[in-house]
Amino acid sequence: MTIRIAKSKGKYLFPTYALTDVFKATFMSTLREKGVEVPQSIARQLFCRRWVVYAKQPFLEACKVVEYLGRYTHKIAISNHRITNTSACSQARFKWKDYRDGNRKKGMSLHAQEFLRRFSQHILPSRFVRIRHYGMLCSRNKTTLLNLARQCFGIQHWQRPTKEDAQTQVFDRLGITSGQCPYCKQGTLEVVQIIEPKRRSPTAVITPNYRFHAA
């Protein structure tokens, strides 16, 4: 197969429309090879339509890819140094980069409500995270698949770290023994009786008292 470079002045390798036709034919051929039955009437309609192939100039170096992804995984929507002024009249002024104008840095002023609205659009919904692991590093399959890969390379199996109970964590971090008498520092406090309040207000919530003794 001979590859002929198109007259693109160095902007692209293949014409976008030609790449669209090749992708369309390859996609439909792969579906048939995988056993997906596509009716001839639907296939004819798909071939008559113009498909959209997203073609964009790639990053030149790997460090550029890491830098691009790092903006979304380890940074917030706007850094503090970009906010230049917040006035008492509910105005926020910040710096931004205009990529269409040669990456020039410009200033913009927004009302506080509009500024917060744009900032909140970058907050992820509940139970969503910025970084997800797939394949062997997926949390659900890490123990099984990662150990299988380690076995193939002769590496020691990975074991999930054991979690310490609450009493051990309190003692290690605060130096407090759970259930110990705070005065004599001896024995363990145990609940022997719950003293209910003799008189209860119809509206107030009264917490019952507890009587302890050192075991």
Q: Model confidence over 128-139: pLDDT tens digits?
A: 877 777 777 777
Task: Say what the pLDDT of residue 10 is.
Answer: 57
Task: Say what the pLDDT of residue 1 is.
Answer: 43
Say yes or no to pLDDT of 215 above 60: no
Which residue's structure tokens are 């693109």? 8
Q: Rounded CA gap, 119 and 74, in Å?
A: 16
The mean pLDDT value for 171-181 works out to 78
Rg for the chain (alpha carbons), in Å? Answer: 32
Say yes or no to pLDDT of 58 above 90: no
The mean pLDDT value for 180-209 works out to 68
Q: Rounded CA gap, 148 and 158, in Å?
A: 10
pTM of the complete model = 0.38
Say yes or no to pLDDT of 189 above 80: no
Task: Say what the pLDDT of residue 155 is.
Answer: 83
Structure confidence by residue, pLDDT tens digits, 101-130? 888 999 999 998 899 999 998 888 888 877
Q: How many CA atoms lie within 13 A of 90 on its CB side?
A: 5
Phi then psi for residue 97, to 5 deg, are -110, 125
Q: Which residues of 34-70 are buried (b: 16+ CB within 10 A; e: fewer)?
A: eeeeeeeeeeeeeeeeeeeeeeeeeeeeeeeeeeeee
CA distances from 79 to 46, 75, 82, 98, 100 (A): 46, 8, 6, 17, 21
State the chain's mean pLDDT as an integer.
78
Task: Say what the pLDDT of residue 211 is.
Answer: 54
Q: Sorting pLDDT into bands at 50, 70 and 90, what band is 8?
A: low
Token representation of residue 107: 């200033």
